[in-house]
Amino acid sequence: MTEERVYSGYKLSCVVTETESFLLHPPQYCFEPGGSVLRYSSGSGWNQIARNQITQFQSSNIAREIEVTEAGKPYLKLKVITLELISNVQEADFVPPLDAILIGERVQDVQQVMIRAAYPQWPASLRGHFKVTVEIVIGKDGHVISTRGVSGPPEAYRACEDAAKQYVFEPFLVLDKPVEVQRTISFLH
């Protein structure tokens, strides 16, 4: 589906993906009107990236201002002050040193690509509309290894925890090594 949307005062042409998964806010990609410059994107969930002050450098479009938000709150802001060509680039310049230390075996609140989702089998006694949030730990292989209901009706926790255990994600890599990820997911009834 394609539509026009306004972000930060800019009117952009957006493509909203349709998905068969249970995402409340499916991914979308917004481009410069009449062009192919990516200006705004939102991943599965609440992660959003805005790219402004676009300039050309070495036949590429570069955003001089980048803002990443999570659930509408600023998470990271970048501002490019200088663009310059690096001479004599060696691939070895970008390889971590041998004594680099991985700071822990688990990261928190990063977005991973979902491979498989499941929907809760709600107890018949549950009525009305509500949301249940479940804290999960995703193993190095992308499978959920632990779940814990943290908000919503407690009688719905078990159904949501059981559904979350069936989720599978692409492994998350830090320095080319898979790590565990701790994050939350939500289910709507």
Whether pLDDT at 44 is above 70: no
- Report how far apart, in Å, the C-alpha atoms of 108 and of each of 3, 56, 138, 157 are: 33, 35, 10, 21
CB atoms under 10 Å from CB of 20, counted, come to: 6
Beta bridge pairs of residue 3 = 14
| Domain extent listing, the chain | 2-79, 106-188
Q: Are 161 and 148 spatial neighbours (Cβ–Cβ below 8 Å)? A: yes
> Would strands 131-138 and 177-188 be described as parallel, antiparallel, or unpaired?
antiparallel
Tally the residues of the chain. 189
- Report how far apart, in Å, the C-alpha atoms of 130 and of each of 15, 149, 184 are: 29, 14, 16
- What is the pLDDT confidence band of residue 149, given thresholds at 50, 70 and 90? very high
Give the Cα separation of 97 and 99 in Å (integer): 5
Q: What pLDDT digit, counting tens, does each position of 130-142 carry?
A: 999 999 999 999 9
Q: What pLDDT digit, counting tens, does each position of 93-131 carry?
A: 888 778 776 666 788 878 788 899 999 999 888 888 999
Superfamily of domain 106-188, CATH level 4: TonB (3.30.2420.10)
Give the predicted TM-score (pTM) of the model.
Answer: 0.51
CB atoms under 10 Å from CB of 89, counted, come to: 9
